[in-house]
Each structure stands twice: as C-alpha cells, then as structure tokens.
A and B are shown apart, each in its own frame.
Chain A
Amino acid sequence: MTNIERHNYDVVVIGAGGAGLRAAIEARLAGKRTAIISKSLFGKAHTVMAEGGAAAAMGNANAGDNWMVHFRDTMRGGKFLNNFRMAELHATEAPERIWELETYGALFDRTSDGKISQRNFGGHEYPRLAHVGDRTGLELIRTLQQKIVSLQQEDFAATGNYESRLRVFAETTITELFVENGRIAGCFGYYRESGEFVLFETPSIVLATGGVGKSYKVTSNSWEYTGDGHALAMRAGATLINMEFLQFHPTGMVWPPSVKGILVTESVRGDGGVLKNSEGKRFMFDYVPDVFRKQYAETEEEADRWYTDPDNNRRPPELLPRDEVARAINSEVKAGRGTPAGGIYLDIASRRSPEFILKRLPSMHHQFKELADVDITASPMEVGPTCHYVMGGVEVDPDTAAAAVPGLFAAGEVSGGMHGSNRLGGNSLSDLLVFGKRAGEYAARHADEAVKRAKVSAAALNAAVETALAPLGRGEGGENPYTLHSELQQVMNDLVGIIRRRSELEESLGRLADLKERVKKVGVAGGRRYNPGWHLALDLRNMLAVSECTAKAALEREESRGGHTREDFPKMDPNWRRVNLVCSLRDEDVRLERKPLPKMRPELMQLFDRAELSKYLTDEELAEFDELAGKADA
C-alpha cells in the first residue's frame, strides 16, 4: 500500500479562514494539540477578500445601537428564517470578539474619540461595521494569523518547538472524513505540493471550509470554494440546511472581462454611489418593497439629505438589503435597460469629489485602476449580480456548533442557519469570530470527553486512497475536468441562478445527473506533484453534490424569500417560513426532508412590533404573539 504520513491531534480544523483560525486559537488556548489545514497558503484564505467590515453592535458611532437592534436587523435580513438562537448569540457576542482582535494587534479605523469607527451598510439600522479602509478581511485574517504565530512563539519558548501544539498544514486538501462507530475518527487528504497522502487521527474536527461559489460562472469566489466542507459533512452522515439560499451580490463587475465577478463593495453606495440604468434613471425608487417602505426615502432629495443628516431623513433605496437590489438590477436588465455587457451603472464619480473617493475607497480605486484601467473617480462602473455567498450549510447546534455526527463541528460560511434566507453585509466576518470561537471551544471539550479514541480502519483508508488516485489512473482518456467544470457552471448559472423557475430547475436536475455520471469517469494527465488538473478532478464530486442540494431544495421551496427567488412563486409564504429543507446523502443521491424551524423565545419575539411580524408570520403564530403581548400588558 502507498506510504502514508500519519498525524495524531486532539483537534483538527479544516480551513484557515477567519472561522478556522479563530477555532484553532480557541482549541489551542484550551490546551489541545491542534492542526490547521488549508488548501491555500497560510493567510491567503478567502476571508482576505472581504472588504466592507465586520458587524458588531459596539455603539461607537451611534449610542442607540445594541445587540437587540442588531438581532432585529439580522432576523429581518434573513426574512425570519434564521436560527434565532444563532442570531442572538451572534448579536450579543460580536462586540467582544472584535475587541479581542485589538488585543491581538488589529488596527481598525478610529472615531474622533479614539474608539473603533463604524460604518453604514445595507440592512443595518445604525452604522455598525468595524472596518479598515476597504480591506477589513485582510486585517482580520492577518491579525488571526499573527495571533497563531504568537501562540507558536509561546510554545517555542516552552518546548523548543514552534509546532508542538499548533501546526499549520498549508496547501493540503482534505478529501475524506472517517467515521468509526458513529463518531469522528479522523480525516484524509493530500499535500498539493507533493501529491503525497496524509492521515490525521483525531476525535474532533472543525469544518471551516467556506462556500460553494465555484459552481457558478459569474462569481466573486475563488477556486477554494468548491463546497468541500458541505460535501464532506454529508458523506460523513451530517445534514445541510437552507441550501436553496445563495446570495448573489448585486454589484459585481460585469465589464471588462478581467474583473468580471469582482465585487464592488456596498460602501460605494453607503458613501453616496447610486444605481442608474442605461436611460440614466436612478431606478431603485421603483423597487422599494412594502416591508421596507417606512424606512426608505421616497424622493432623491430626501435620499441625498440622509448622507449628512441621517436622523431626520430616511435612507436612500440603494441601501436596501442586497437581494432587493439584485432583483431590481435583474429586472432592469431583463427589461432592456441594461448596459451593453448586461449590467447597470453604479455611479459615484458624478456625485463625490475625487479626493473624497480616494479617501473612502482607496483599495477599490486601486483595484480597478490596476486591473481594468477604470478610474472610479472619473466614470461609472458597470455592475450586475454575482454569486457571492451561500447561506446554506451544515446543520449545527447553535450553542456548540456541533453537527449531527459526534466529533464534527462547523463554523463560518460552511455552517447553516445563522443567516436564514439572506445574510446582511458584514455579518459574516463577525459570524466567523463568534462561531469559530464556539466551535473551537466545544471541539476541545469533545476531545477531552473522548477518552477512548476511535481508530481509522485500514479498509476506509484504502478506499480513500483509491478514490483519490482514480482520475490519475484513467489518465487523459477520461473526461476532461476543466470541460466538466465549465459545463457545471453553465448549468448552475442558467438554470439555478438568481431568478428560478420550475421547468428550469427540473431540467437542471437531469443535467446534473448526467454530469455526475461523467464525473465518475474523469481522468487527468500528469503526476501527483502540484497538478491542478488532478485537484480539480477531485473537487468536482463535491461541487456536484452541493449543486444537487441547491437545485433540489430550490425546486421544493415554492415561494420567494431572501436568496431564493422563484418567478412562478414570487411571494413570500408564511407557511414556508416555518420549514427548513434538510439535505442528506443516501448512497450517492441527495435526499430532502422538511423539518420545522425552532421556535423563537417569547422575549425575543417581543423585540419586534406586530405590524412587522404580520409580514412574516402565519395567523396562527400571530395569535400566539397577541396572547403573549396581552399577558405582558396585563
């Protein structure tokens, strides 16, 4: 048999983004021997790309802000489909997690009294996003990376070895989780550099692998986002929820091609940018849904006054939650009022001075200048919807981040429930910190409890090796992985995209089934050393499993809500709000189950006013609420 490197750890964290690093820090602080595994180099994970900021109700910019307001905004943004407990934990713990970063050395932008500055963002009632220019994700990941290094330095001082308690396995891909006797026993993967295999034996695994966007053609996500964690969890016997909800960022660049899919941060709109169609009309005023009518300006004059006087004016409709903005843009383009490249214009150039733009959006300006020779201080940008974030993910216990399989935990984008049907901008970075910490804490605790650790069986290991080597065995005679990938992206883009229909979704399931058969025959040339063709070939089956979940759940959910829009069911249906669609694998096929949503605790329910709740709840639930309210009054 192939020679396999073996390691033994108390906790293995798969993923070195914000969630993974925070989890690893916590596990190491709990005294556990911890490994961090990442497909890319240390410090390059997808989190570096986050621009806008991290939402936390610190109340630095507006003293009116607190966790209850943040909780309310999150639930509203997720259209009440969120796991309320996760939203509650997130809102209460986010400020601590941000402040903690400062003790690791983070340098956020400051208010004039020296506190962390907070900026406005779509869907948040108050300025709430801690930020560093427009490179907040980089600051976050670098800070956590440097904290890990500092822990390694402590270990070095104590043991003479930097890696004695915390080791980073960079450029290593995990392809299989092992479950023995119903609990986690370890995981298996390969070093990208050498192609050599490696086995980790461990009682606790934290999945922090991020999202799934690489299944789509226009996406802001990188090659890492192949849904590995989602697929690994399902194959290990865990479940996924909310997979039909994908966030399409309303404003990704659509032209020129070298920047296609790259996001234009919402702060461009927060700082005065407006959306215009090809006729030059500022069209967002036509798309304010009733739910939001009260909070948004009705005239351009009022909207423009808001930037300087937010207390006496309502906000501009450009700052509606991103799914509303995406849908509006889609409608404008479909009505023939789009740009030649199929987007619309985002204009800040004609509204703000070049100095202002340079000060507020330096890296945005830099990026477009360098990449596309576009000067955002001089001309409008061409933008359109781009696949950006998956709300769906591993179904976890809100307090412990534990998945259905004992020993398996999930945090960050790969977990589901926190954001409901739609994530608010900025809530992800804080989500990574809050639930990354929790996952690390409980994974460490689980390792303590697992006195007798399960051994990985030779049979399971052999099977994993065989699966990994199969594409190389078939060589160039097999299906080309690049071709299969681009066909998959086309199917998802055209048939399971931002606006969905029954007929298209049904067609997609047929196409995905075909692709699944062909992926079984994928073959690649070359050897095992840093062979991207081979890497892609192994990722394909994960992408397909996840795409199948999305397509099946999208077909099942006959309503429109957040990141799921059905043209044939354009309305939100309160009965569907009470249902989560849960995906699991049986053999190789995705199975879908309906499961009731956990019921929000009464005191949290009472944070909302009745008029608002009536838009989301069934009559039956409303009656319950009235009864509660009656009791409270009496």
Chain B
Amino acid sequence: MGEKRNFRVWRGDDSSGQLQDFQVEVNEGEVVLDIIHRLQATQAPDLAVRWNCKAGKCGSCSMEINGKPRLGCMTRMSTFEPTETVTVTPLRTFPVIRDLVTDVSFNYQKARELPAFAPPAGVAPGEYRMQQVDVERSQEFRKCIECFLCQNVCHVIRDHEENKPAFAGPRFFIRAAELDMHPLDARTDRKDMAVEEQGIGYCNITKCCTEVCPEHIKITDNAIIPMKERAVDRRYDPIAWLGSKIFRRDQLDRPAGYATTAVASRPNAGTTSSPAEHAAAAGAQGDISMNWHREAAVGHAAPVGPDGKLPVTEFTGELAGAQSPFGDDVAFPMAVQDITYQHPTKPDEH
C-alpha cells in the first residue's frame, strides 16, 4: 500500500480556474500520470488530461510539473521528496481548454506552413539509395514525438502572443533542418525559408528548448545553429546591410538573417534569458493561483522594424547594448499582477 502525498492540480477552463489540492495515494514506481489517473478514478472523474502511450512515445501528456515542462508519463514520483507538494499545471504557451488540456493547434498550423519533403525527380520508388551516416543526421530530428514542450518553453512565444504569427518555433526549426539535411530532398532553399518564413531570426539560442526535449534532440546545436550559420554565411554583409537600413529602410527585406548574427556570435549577450532563469521562474510554487488568462502586459511588444521583425543588434537599436528579447520598454522585476508565473523571490512555504 502506498502513502498519501499532496498534489495540487490546476482546474478550470478558458474563462477561469485555480489550483486545487488533493491528498492522493502514491505507490512505488509510479509516475505523475499514474497519479492523475488515480485522481480521475477516485476523486475527480472529469479531470481532463491528454495521454496515449504512457511510454514517452506519443508526446500527448505534456504538462508543467512544479513549473517545469515535462511528460507526465515520464516523470517518476521518486524524483520528488515524500513531503513535497507536486503542482501540476497546463502548458503555459497555449490556450487552456480544460484542466491540463491545452489548445495546441498553433503547432499544426505551423507544420502546414513548412513545405513538405520534395521527392527527387526521376528516382523511382525502390531506387532510393542513401548512406546510413547521411540519414542519421536527419533521423535525430525525426525522433521528435511532437510533445511541443520545446514550443511551450521558448520565450519568443511563451509570453508573446504577438510573436506567434511570425515564429514557427524549435519543433519546426528541426523539421526544416531535417529536410535540409535529407540526402534526397530536392529543395535547396530550406535555409532561406527558415529565415524568411519561419522567423528563425527571433531565436537567440537560449537553449531552453534543448533542455526540455524528452527525446534529447540537440535542437539548438544540431539544428538551429547550423541553419542560422549557413543562412548567415551566404548573406552577411554588414556594410551593405547597414546602408540599406539607414538609407532605404522601406526597402529592407531580410533583417532577421542579420539579426541572428549579433546574438549567435554572443550567446551570453546581456539580457537574453537563460535556461536557468526560465527554470527559476517556472519552478517556484506558491499559494497565489496563477494568472493564466490575463491579457499580455502592454509593453511586451519589442520595437520591431517596419517589416515586423526584431532588429537584435546594437547598430540600429534605439539603445546601446543588445536588446532585451522581452522588449526594451519592459522594466524588471515586473509587478506581481503582470506576471504569469509564481515570482521566484517569493519564499516557498515548505
């Protein structure tokens, strides 16, 4: 027989909701999803949660556990202290449908916008020949189970609803890289598309996506950076670009490709948010119910150029120093009512 543990689960829908406390039995060897199922069977029959395989293979059971984006079926209860309260909340980046279930349609929309594999002309089915070493690079990205945890954690869209139209997110950067590295894909413009269509320029290599990937895909090192670097190789020409920036601002077409250089070459630049920051922000627990449904605070919008893209370089910015990915008009720390997570400085109760 197991012991009783404290669980705190977010319950509600798109209009309102709060964290609800439960005392629930936990047995040896169980994972968080087992406990959610026990809650359904014993105390909260209508508690909504997605799952499917219970084996870390389908990517359905994404949730935030003690503020950390995780798969519920892959988070062992033994990783928590017996006295610890386990707080389970829905993914923050996507709108809540009910309880732990969020509307992830954003991701399916982005998937559609990325041109599919283009079969090589004149190669009949059955005649495809590829070497194992060559397919392995793309195979790493095809391990993706579409849990969307990387999408959830990426700060470019986590608190920035307004970036969603222009930014495909790490899941789709690896898809682009996969096709780019596919030995037989007939398209040659994958890198250009990553810049022009997918907004890879917004990414400032915080590596938060890589940190949370349950498949341990090296999203940043193996996909984003190569895609950015090669994009840059072919187009980086700062003087010409600066000229066009100053004199022909209205004709400027691809600032994002340049924008990446400044940050890519200086991953630790000033105000970019680090994984540690994300974790600290997200990891805190407290007794204030989370403010999931507030409007994004005004001022979150970064000062974008006329093309709608963010110039992350000090040459053309309004201020000296690399710009904050949150926008330079946001002052930290933010007021408590404006944040969507428990403030890290608030003392923990246990």
Whether the pair A99, B128 counts as a contact (CB closer than 8 A) is: yes
Whether the pair A371, B74 counts as a contact (CB closer than 8 A) is: yes
A318–B54 Cα distance when bound, in Å, is: 27
The contact of A139 among B51, B98, B117, B142, by CB within 8 Å, is: B142
The proximity string for B residues 120-155 relative to A, scoring 1 for CB distances below 8 Å and 0 otherwise, is 000001101111100100110011111000000000
Contact count band on A: 35 or more
Q: Which residue of chain A lies nearest to B113 when distances are taken between CB atoms in the complex?
A: A153
Whether the pair A150, B125 counts as a contact (CB closer than 8 A) is: no
A109 on the interface (CB 8 Å rule)?
yes
A363–B56 Cα distance when bound, in Å, is: 10
A620 on the interface (CB 8 Å rule)?
no
The proximity string for A residues 502-543 relative to B, scoring 1 for CB distances below 8 Å and 0 otherwise, is 000000000000000000000011110111111000000000
A107–B184 Cα distance when bound, in Å, is: 10
A7 on the interface (CB 8 Å rule)?
no
Q: Tell me the A454-490 residues at the B interface (CB within 8 Å).
A: 480-482, 486
> Do A100 and B55 form a contact, CB below 8 Å, given A107-B142, A107-B182?
no
Whether the pair B126, A99 counts as a contact (CB closer than 8 A) is: yes
B76 on the interface (CB 8 Å rule)?
yes
> Do A262 and B145 form a contact, CB below 8 Å, given A110-B132, A532-B47?
no
A255–B28 Cα distance when bound, in Å, is: 11
Q: Which residues of B contact A533 (CB under 8 A)?
A: 40, 45-46
A256–B34 Cα distance when bound, in Å, is: 13
B27 on the interface (CB 8 Å rule)?
yes
Whether the pair B131, A114 counts as a contact (CB closer than 8 A) is: yes
The stretch among A37-45, A73-81, A420-428 that forms the contact with chain B is A37-45
For the complex formed, measure the closest distance between the CB of A174 and the CB atoms of chain B, giving whole angstroms.
18
The proximity string for B residues 84-115 relative to A, scoring 1 for CB distances below 8 Å and 0 otherwise, is 00000000000001110101100010011001
The proximity string for A residues 48-74 relative to B, scoring 1 for CB distances below 8 Å and 0 otherwise, is 110000000010000000000000000
For the complex formed, measure the closest distance between the CB of B48 and the CB atoms of chain A, giving whole angstroms.
4
For the complex formed, measure the closest distance between the CB of B12 and the CB atoms of chain A, giving whole angstroms.
11
Whether the pair B51, A110 counts as a contact (CB closer than 8 A) is: no
The contact of B29 among A41, A147, A372, by CB within 8 Å, is: A372
Q: Mostly helix, strand, loop or mixed at chain B's interface?
A: loop
A482–B115 Cα distance when bound, in Å, is: 44
Whether the pair B76, A105 counts as a contact (CB closer than 8 A) is: no
Whether the pair B46, A532 counts as a contact (CB closer than 8 A) is: yes
Q: Which residues of A contact B34 (CB under 8 A)?
A: 257-258
A373 on the interface (CB 8 Å rule)?
yes
A480–B104 Cα distance when bound, in Å, is: 31
For the complex formed, measure the closest distance between the CB of B79 and the CB atoms of chain A, giving whole angstroms.
10
> Do A193 and B56 form a contact, CB below 8 Å, given A105-B117, A482-B41?
no
A170–B214 Cα distance when bound, in Å, is: 24
Whether the pair B40, A482 counts as a contact (CB closer than 8 A) is: yes
A-B contact count (CB 8 A): 179
Q: Which residues of B contact A108 (CB under 8 A)?
A: 135
Whether the pair A371, B40 counts as a contact (CB closer than 8 A) is: no
Whether the pair A135, B46 counts as a contact (CB closer than 8 A) is: no
Q: Which residues of A contact B101 (CB under 8 A)?
A: 193, 530
B312 on the interface (CB 8 Å rule)?
no
Q: Which residues of B contact A5 (CB under 8 A)?
A: none
Whether the pair B52, A224 counts as a contact (CB closer than 8 A) is: yes
Q: Which residues of A contact B76 (CB under 8 A)?
A: 258, 370-373
A525–B97 Cα distance when bound, in Å, is: 18
Chain B residues with a Cβ closer than 8 Å to the other chain, count: 62
Q: Which residues of B contact A526 (CB under 8 A)?
A: 45-46
Q: Which residues of B contact A534 (CB under 8 A)?
A: 46
Whether the pair A532, B40 counts as a contact (CB closer than 8 A) is: yes
Q: Which residues of A contact B8 (CB under 8 A)?
A: none
Q: Which residues of B contact A138 (CB under 8 A)?
A: 57, 142-143, 145
A223–B61 Cα distance when bound, in Å, is: 13
Whether the pair B119, A103 counts as a contact (CB closer than 8 A) is: yes
Q: Which residue of chain A lies nearest to B129 when distances are taken between CB atoms in the complex?
A: A114
The proximity string for B residues 28-61 relative to A, scoring 1 for CB distances below 8 Å and 0 otherwise, is 1111001000001100011111111111111110
For the complex formed, measure the closest distance between the CB of B114 and the CB atoms of chain A, giving whole angstroms.
8
Q: Tell me the A118-177 residues at the B interface (CB within 8 Å).
A: 132-133, 135, 138-139, 142, 146-147, 149-150, 152-153, 156, 162, 170
Given A258-B31, A533-B46; 17 other pairs, CB 8 A cutoff: A40-B60, A42-B108, A43-B146, A44-B146, A46-B52, A49-B58, A58-B126, A109-B135, A114-B129, A193-B103, A223-B51, A259-B29, A367-B55, A372-B29, A525-B45, A525-B46, A530-B48
| Between-chain CB contacts (< 8 Å), 28 pairs | A40-B50, A40-B52, A44-B58, A48-B145, A49-B58, A96-B126, A103-B119, A104-B119, A105-B119, A109-B135, A110-B130, A110-B132, A112-B132, A113-B129, A138-B142, A146-B117, A150-B117, A153-B116, A257-B29, A370-B74, A372-B29, A373-B76, A373-B78, A482-B45, A527-B46, A529-B48, A532-B40, A532-B46
Chain A interface residues toward B at CB < 8 A: 40-44, 46, 48-49, 58, 95-96, 99-100, 102-105, 107-110, 112-115, 117, 132-133, 135, 138-139, 142, 146-147, 149-150, 152-153, 156, 162, 170, 193, 222-224, 255-259, 262, 363, 366-367, 370-373, 480-482, 486, 524-527, 529-534
Closest 10 CB pairs of A and B: A105-B117, A526-B46, A256-B29, A150-B116, A114-B129, A533-B45, A99-B125, A530-B48, A99-B126, A482-B41
